Amino acid sequence: MEFRQQPEVRMRGPLMDPRDPGLLFEDTSAGGNRHKPSGVGKGPDVCPGQALLSDPMSNLALVYGSSLASHGKEMMDKNLDRFIPISKLKYYFAVDTVYVSKKLGLLVFPYMHDNWEVNYQQDTPVAPRFDINAPDLYIPVMGFITYILVAGLALGTQNRFSPEILGIQASSALVWLIIEVLAVLLSLYLVAVNTDLTTIDLVAFSGYKYVGMFLGVLAGLLFGRTGYYLSLLWCCVSIFVFTIRTMRLKILSEAAAEGRLVRGAKNQLRMYLTMAIAAAQPVFMYWLTFHLVR
Amino acid sequence: MAFTLYALIQTAILFTNAIAVLHEERFLSKIGWGAEQGIGGFGDEPGIKAQLLNLIRSVRTVMRVPLIAVNSVCIVLLLLFG
């Protein structure tokens, strides 16, 4: 059928990003795409459509309707892409299990890792599944959700739970995240640092502390206040070291990042900025969890 | 402590309003934060004060008209819904 071919071809277009070095995601849709062109512009199925298609007017209406629908979808995709860069977001979610497990281990125990540089490939960072140092958004999002759930659990054990509490916790943590990202952006602008840190990178780095937060609350649930304090202390120190080692390479100049002592007001200021960003993480971790553990 | 997104929006509007009402000649020049004092030299090291003054001036220029709209919307909403 002529008109069925068109929506298929158009929809495969935006998925295959031509400038993407090695495909971000494995193409598991090879078999499935032939059978069902997804959703838009489908029109009625073959069997009842036979009767309709014999009428030329409804045939025309069908073709027009399907082309209009696919055109509308294209336009919406294009406009949405202007506000929320969907293709860039896809990069941050291109993870696999090995990467996630290694990164979680790195978040809790960053002391043995030597090489913190992000590998690049033709001026764009390599996808997270190939490079453990690249930032991703999967762990922060999952950590955030887990933190909300564990907070609900903790409040439930103290008989302080109600369904609105979950929403309040979620929006409160989200607001603090936004405030922190805005503060870091402002301070990066004021110090006039030329980095390639995008806003989404900063969201990713600020989101890594949710892992430590929910580990602390979980330990507090299982082992009481001492467990909470001990695990929170451990996670705070690890996130502090992790953030310093990651941010140092991005913010400081190359010479200072390699460990050679470079004097000068500019580098000192940048070092203070890195320390401040790293020190804000444990503060937030404590601030957002201490009211959950009694 | 329990912040909502609405509180964040309110804070942002209030902050932007506060920056927008700083008058150039009557106030900023008097305390040495005027526009001409921001452009120090042409070196590649702007310095924090110059960046801050630049930021204030650009916020005032850019956000003047949108702030009128946003404030009017806020006033109408507060009158209607308290």
- Reported as a single tens digit per residue, the pLDDT across B25-78 is 777 777 777 766 656 555 556 677 778 888 888 888 888 889 999 999 999 999
Residues A240 and A279: beta-carbon distance below 8 Å? yes
pLDDT higher at A212 or A25: A212
Q: Find chain A residues with C-beta within 8 A of B56's C-beta.
A: none
Q: Do the chains contact at A172 and B3, CB–CB below 8 Å? A: yes
Burial label for A238, CB within 10 Å (0-12, 13-18, 19+), is buried
pTM for the whole thing?
0.71
pLDDT at A118 over 70: yes
d(CA A40, CA A73): 8
Task: Name the least confident of A22-26, A43-47, A268-272.
Answer: A43-47
Please report residues of B whose CB lies closer than 8 A to that of A179.
Answer: 8
Q: CA-to-CA distance for A138 and A151, rounded, in angstroms?
A: 20
Please report the number of interchain residue pairs, chain A to chain B, with beta-carbon separation below 8 angstroms.
Answer: 31
Q: Are strands A120-121 and A124-125 parallel, antiparallel or unpaired?
A: antiparallel
Q: pLDDT band at A27, cuts 50/70/90?
A: low
* Contact with chain B for residue A276, Cβ under 8 A: no
pLDDT value at position A268?
Answer: 79
- Name every residue whose Cβ is closer than 8 Å to that of residue A284 and which is 6 or more positions away in sequence: A176, A180, A209
A172: nearest CB among B2, B46, B51: B2
Residue A168 and residue B48: Cβ atoms within 8 Å?
no
CA distance A130 to A126: 7
A43 vs A243, more confident: A243
The SS3 of residue A245 is: helix
- Tell me if A173 sits within 8 A of A213, measured CB to CB: no
Cα–Cα distance, A120 to A123 (Å, whole number): 6
Q: CA-CA distance, A149 to A217, in Å (whole number)?
A: 11
